[in-house]
Structure 1
Amino acid sequence: MPSPEIPARSRWTGHCRQQAEEGGGIVRISVIGTGYLGATHAACMAELGFEVIGVDIDPAKIERLARGELPFHEPGLAELIVKHVESGRLRFTTDYAEVGGWADVHFIGVGTPQRSGEHAADMRYVDAALTSLAESISKDALIVGKSTVPVGTADRLAGLLAQLRAANGLPGTVELAWNPEFLREGFAVKDTLTPDRIVVGVASEHAEQVLREVYAAPLAADTPWIATDFPTAELVKVAANAFLATKISFINAFSEITEAVGGDIRTLADAIGHDARIGRRFLNAGVGFGGGCLPKDIRALQARAAELGLTSTMRFLSEMDAINLRRRERVVDLAVDVLAADAGHRRAAPVQALQGARIAILGVAFKPDSDDVRDSPALDVANRLYTLGADTAVYDPEANANAAARFPRLDYVDSVEEALRDADLAILLTEWREFRELDPARVAELMATPRLIDGRNVLDRDAWAAAGVPVVGMGQKVVHGAPA
């Protein structure tokens, strides 16, 4: 027999369609959390034509967003927010009661950071957002989780939602769905407006239909649509991140071998990348991955697997984590080797080799087109070099302020030329376009001793060497401070 909830849901779907026919938008949307994920999703939903309200408990953040000011760097996002605040399709509030009586679809986009001292994800913010919505919604609505959560969370929250709704005796039928995000920092607007796939975990045809209406524009452009159960939807994001981390760690592990035997990791990656089953993307050996997602997501996956009694199933992730962290130490070792060669010996004590050396640090964001320094291998390397006695001149086009908040003792400068001037060594750690397009001849003029460690393997070593700047790359054997 049909569920007794179906008539109410049918009325809601009919109401949404009537709104669409009248040009008022299919649904009204709220986005809970206005951090990186939430602010991006809210702006992009407005760009797709919806009326949107962003919700946060931080009044100062809400005021800044209402002025079009972002607390982080993401290309194109600030302009989109300004556009739709001015168009009237986007606004911000701290009032859950206002949102509960207004929106038809509520996206939860709050953070799930790593718990202090643990690998597991901290679910306090997701739980709080769900609780506040459950106690505020006074009409038929759909709550949609977008945050990256441990598998089993959606089922748990669906139970909590039903419990809270019953306890408060609130009107309307409220259902839960899960719709994982796949944003790449630096490409978040594009990834939201033109995603490479849309995954939804739903418990009813109604929930799927509502989300199809929300994503009608990308679906009309033939974006793949995957509707599945809660656990599968929750696992898709962490599985994707674990696979990418595995691929990056794989090539970095092989770079340890090529460094030992004198091989060339870039040629090796090119060769295996021609195999269609493998592909060349994410096979760039370097200083390793970082950021606010990949490291914490693979650690949270390990923690959740352990809770499920499957510790051995994800044990390989621990080795990947170790490989990734070793790459940071490898860059420090390379700097020691290069600088120790000045004294005529290869193996100097790190403090002896680095003491007083001026090192230009090119980039501290974990990736280009971002100001994110969370778990950044570049910033970690800069701090390690400073701790060992180097005089570090740090320059990043966007991340200097965030880096200074974490490690204020480093010397942050305002331009790449200032960083390079009179340097004994330069280390490229974030592959910003500005660094990839540097003029080697100009670099040679600026530095006291022209030489560079390419921590991302993005430079043409032969062209730089011809201009008088020897480049040491990752996955390359170094003898007496120079490439083998």
Structure 2
Amino acid sequence: MQLSVIGCGYLGAVHAASMASLGHTVVGIDVDEAKIAKLAAGEPPFHEPGLVEVLKDGLASGRLTFSTDYADLADAEVHFIGVGTPQRSGAQGADMTYVNAATDAILEHAKPGSLIAGKSTVPVGTAARLTELAATKGVRLAWNPEFLREGFAIKDTVDPDRLVYGVTDATRDEDTATLDAVYATILERGTPRLVTNQPTAELVKVAANSFLATKISFINAMAEISEVTGADVTQLADAIGHDERIGRKFLNAGVGFGGGCLPKDIRAFTARAEELGKGESVAFLKQVDEINLRRRQRVVDLVVDSFDGQVYGHRV
């Protein structure tokens, strides 16, 4: 199939290269000329194991190209949106500037009957709004969230633990068939596929990230109790992690979670829930965030205390 990927940052570049490795013809589009020049030369602007090889294979085969011209997406059958949704300046919610701009650019050049597949993490309700906008151009829209782990992004794209399609009732069969064609190689391996409505697909990613963030903050809260009682939090995690209902992954005490997803996603989820009048449903995420921020200061305090308050001149 012919595909376009809008946004060639971490998500978009990985998705474009991975789709080319599955045999599709893919154009990755981004407004950042320097980023596109590096990608076109086979040099990712960030580190991700295995990406260089997949990127260079796609470029050498001719199936993968990169461009700053949105007109190059015109022949694509499916357009993936992989732009960022950072935290809004001075607020908790997600900044939708890039998603909105990407959608407008696609609709300016896309052929009627093509499908937009959103992969960016967005506030629930975004897909419904964009679906109405796309329909004015005869373009369909579905939401197809990503579940990438840093260091395993290529594997998580070509061999994911599940695929989720968020579709409307009106175009459910057509959208499902189109995405099945995109992911045919993956589905042949028996990968679970869930076809949901759009709000469910939008919530899947933020719900998963909220759960993982909560698990990390939980064990860090237990670390705070362990410090004042003489308990060993690592052994505690080992012990409760043997319970298969809990599991040991993401149950390591330390400086907390960071990165480009968990902090902004739980804040954006909280902000959206408050807009929906359901802020109390996710009020606990504020405490999850507070615990996480507190752990950073605790690490600094431990270092200072270990040198009796005199850290100048020491290498840590």
- TM-score normalised to the size of structure 1? 0.64
Q: 2-side partners of 1:106 and 1:138: how far apart?
A: 11
Q: What is the distance in 2 between the residues matched to 1:89 and 1:125? A: 26
CA distance in 2: counterparts of 1:114 and 1:272, whole angstroms: 34
Separation (CA, whole Å) in 1 of partners of 2:110 and 2:73 = 7
CA RMSD of aligned residues (A): 1.0
1:146 is aligned, of 115, 119, 144, to 119
| Paired residue secondary structure (2:52) | helix
**Equivalents in 2 of 1:271, 1:97: separation in Å?**
57
How far 1:290 moved relative to its partner?
0.2
Please state if 1:61 is matched with 2:35: yes
SS in 1 for 2:39: helix
- What corresponds to 2:145 in structure 1? 180
Residue 33 of structure 1, CA deviation: 0.5
Of 92, 97, 119 in structure 1, the residue corresponding to residue 92 of structure 2 is: 119
1:359 is paired with a residue of what secondary structure?
coil
The offset of 1:139, in angstroms, is 4.0
- Report 1 or 2 for greater relative contact order, CA contacts < 8 Å, sequence distance ≥ 6: 2
Measured after TM superposition, the shift of residue 357 of structure 1 is 3.1
Corresponding residue for residue 75 of structure 1: 49
Q: Partners in 2 of 1:63 and 1:283 — Cα distance?
A: 40
Question: Helix, strand or coil for the counterpart of 2:315?
Answer: strand
Residues matched between the structures, number: 313
Deviations 1:388-439 (A, max 9, x none): xxxxxxxxxxxxxxxxxxxxxxxxxxxxxxxxxxxxxxxxxxxxxxxxxxxx
Aligned equivalent of 1:441: none
Unaligned runs of 5+ in 1: 1-26, 166-172, 341-349, 361-484
Amino acid at match of 1:128: A
Does residue 321 of the first structure (1) align with residue 289 of the second (2)?
yes
- Once the two structures are superposed, residues 57-86 of structure 1 have per-residue CA deviations (whole angstroms, 9 ceiling, x without a partner) of 122211111001111111111221111111
Shift of 1:140: 2.4
Q: Give 3-state SS (helix, strand or coil) of 1:358's partner.
A: coil
Higher Cα Rg, which structure:
1
Cα distance in 2, alignment partners of residues 318 and 76 from structure 1 = 36
Aligned equivalent of 2:15, options 41, 46, 51: 41
Partner of 1:296: 264
2:226 aligns with one of 258, 263, 277: 258
| 1:359 Cα offset (Å) | 2.2
Q: 1:246 aligns with which of 205, 209, 214?
A: 214
1:227 aligns with 2:201: no
Q: SS in structure 2 opposite 1:329?
A: helix
Percentage of pairs with the same residue: 62
1:141 maps to amino acid = S
Rounded Cα–Cα distance in structure 1 between residues aligned with 2:91 and 2:112: 39
Local SS of the residue matching 1:140 = coil
CA distance in 2, matches of 1:281, 1:309: 33
**Superposed displacement of residue 289, structure 1:** 0.3
Contact 2:14–2:51 at 8 Å: present in 1 too?
A: yes
Secondary structure (helix, strand or coil) at the match of 2:91 reads coil
Q: Distance in 1 between matches of 2:179 and 2:134?
A: 19
What runs of 5+ residues in structure 2 fail to find an aligned partner? none
* 2:5 matched residue in structure 1: 31
Alignment match, 1:357: 313
State the 1:337 CA deviation. Answer: 1.7
Deviations 1:104-149 (A, max 9, x none): 1110000000001111000010001101111111342111000000
The alpha carbon displacement at 1:332 in A equals 1.2
Matched, 1:269 2:237: yes
Q: Is structure 2 residue 97 aligned with structure 1 residue 97?
A: no
Check conservation: 2:27, 2:72, Cα contact below 8 A: no
* One of 157, 163, 178 as aligned partner of 2:130: 157
Letter in 2 for 1:338: S
Q: After TM superposition, where is structure 1 displaced by more than 4 Å over at least 4 residues in a row?
A: none
Question: Are the counterparts in 1 of residues 111 and 139 from structure 2 also a CA contact under 8 Å?
Answer: no
Q: CA deviation at 1:336?
A: 1.6
2:304 maps to a residue whose letter is V
Match of 1:218 in 2: 186
